[in-house]
Amino acid sequence: MPELVHNLVGTAQNPIAIVWHRRDLRIDDHPALSAAIAQVGDRGKVVGLFIFDPDILDDGVTEGSKVDFMLGCLRELQANYRRLGSDLLFMLGQPVPSICALAQAMQATHVFFNQDVEPFAIKRDRSATDSLQSLGIKVQSFVDIGLIAPDAIATQAGEPYKVYTPFWRNWQSKPKPQPFDAPQKITGLDTYANLPTIALPSLRDLKFINDIQLPKTGEAAALDLLNQFCDRNGILRYQPERDFPAHAGTSTLSPHLRFGTVGIRRVWTAAIAAQQRVRSEEEAISVTTWQQELAWREFYQHVLFYFPELETGAYRPQMRQFPWDDDAEKFEAWCEGRTGYPIVDAAMRQLNQTGWMHNRCRMIVASFLTKDLIINWQSGERYFMQKLLDGDLAANNGGWQWSASSGMDPKPLRIFNPASQARKYDPEGEYILRWLPELQGLTTAELLSSNIPPHQCQRRGYPLPIVDHNIQQQRFKKLYQDCKLSS
């Protein structure tokens, strides 16, 4: 079982602290930065650090759009450090030897960072902590990615939760920490000469390109989105509007939560404040529903923390040997939005052109890939991680395993019918036509039926359905039952 990195607090006459940023590209509501400033005191100095890890940049999954978004966040973060009197430094290389080299070069006495739950990050942070401590440097880490640490919540039997609903009941009953105020001053070094650092690289320097238009990046944009959603009452309409992809019914904060340009305590506090403005049962349900979505995010973090093997395989034993078809041509059609199912193709085009997809559509396309095309969920999981600006291992893996009937869902055999999903959540075909403009002129019934007449498809250059949903869902059910019986 993995362990969180434990806190070690030290002091020095003239301390110099490094705050190691990873998925926390902000200064507001930042536990590690706040602690660093408080602990080094008036005589101490604090600098920020971000390390570009070549193993992550060259992992075959990371694409230019995500790197470009991150660079925009880092530019703003560096500007904020400089505005307050310090600097954000950059390095390119393996994280552990890099941070040790910098700490020695600047004679740092402390390193502060916020914890992560991903298996790679836990291993990295443990190694960094051991190496820094061996140099006599004090290391302190903090819970930040979620409101409650994974080792602070458990079942009555002391076990980690495997089902969301009881997790939610326990999680929502626990007190939540208050946000940390943004610092007003950060005292930096007198000189930054002779340090093994680099200037903030460009996208080209990192050998990436980006061909999509990004949303606004950085902390100011994140706080603005949060304020728009919570203070202007979008959260009070969340429940009735969140499932309709043609409407702006969600917060669109997910890329900012992924890169940590907004603190989760700040987000939770905004949701609590919105409760004070509730004037109807529907509005109260809307706020609770959004809070439940934050809890889903945290549930998947806890699951990955306790079951790191989920990164590479199914939770349900019977699904580890499932006979997926894995048809390469059908997978390519799914990726490119050429399945002949309009709601699926519209969603995939939204993903490819914007780096984001509405959550209802994520469930639809994931079900279609696994239950209609009978293609391994891990192929879809990887593609999402390539394309999504908010691509996050815990949430992405959890969502895909839920859709593929391989995860912790107590009712695992769920199959979405694309046509009925379209009729229910895009009843006028607005979303479909936004992303599939070649289908203009079809009747709404044709758009939503997933059975466009062949002559209409030919005229518009739109593909016929590549599979029959009714046949494929029966195939999947049979394969699933056979695996269940043989396990």
Tell me if residue 435 is catalytic: no
CB 277 within 8 A of CB 236: yes
Which of 168, 268, 311, 324 does the annotation list as catalytic? 324
Tell me if residue 324 is catalytic: yes
Which of 210, 268, 293, 352 does the annotation list as catalytic? 293
Which of 20, 400, 402, 435 does the annotation list as catalytic? 400
Tell me if residue 290 is catalytic: no
Tell me if residue 268 is catalytic: no
Tell me if residue 402 is catalytic: no
Conformation bin of residue 482: beta by default, left when phi > 0, alpha when psi is -120 to 50: alpha
Which of 168, 296, 311, 352 does the annotation list as catalytic? 296
| The 3-state secondary structure of the chain, one letter per residue | CCCCCCCCCCCCCCCEEEEEECCCCCCCCCHHHHHHHHHHCCCCEEEEEEEECHHHHCCCCCCHHHHHHHHHHHHHHHHHHHHHCCCEEEEECCHHHHHHHHHHHCCCCEEEEECCCCHHHHHHHHHHHHHHHHCCCEEEEECCCCCCCHHHCCCCCCCCCCCHHHHHHHHHHCCCCCCCCCCCCCCCCCCCCCCCCECCCCCCCCCCCCCCCCCCCCHHHHHHHHHHHHHCCCHHHHHHHCCCCCCCCCCCCHHHHHHCCCCHHHHHHHHHHHHCCCCCHHHHHHHHHHHHHHHHHHHHHHHHHHCHHHHCCCCCHHHHHCCCCCCHHHHHHHHHCCCCCHHHHHHHHHHHHHCCCCHHHHHHHHHHHHHHCCCCHHHHHHHHHHHCCCCCHHHHHHHHHHHCCCCCCCCCCCCCCHHHHHHHHCCCCHHHHHHCHHHCCCCHHHHHHCCCCHHHHHHHCCCCCCCCHHHHHHHHHHHHHHHHHHC
CA distance 77 to 223: 14
Which of 359, 430, 446, 451 does the annotation list as catalytic? 359
Cα–Cα nearest to 117, from 140, 141, 96, 94: 141
Burial 346-370 (b: 16+ CB within 10 A, else e): bbbbbbbebbbbbebbbbbbbbbbb
Tell me if residue 377 is catalytic: yes
Q: List active site positions.
A: 293, 296, 324, 359, 377, 400
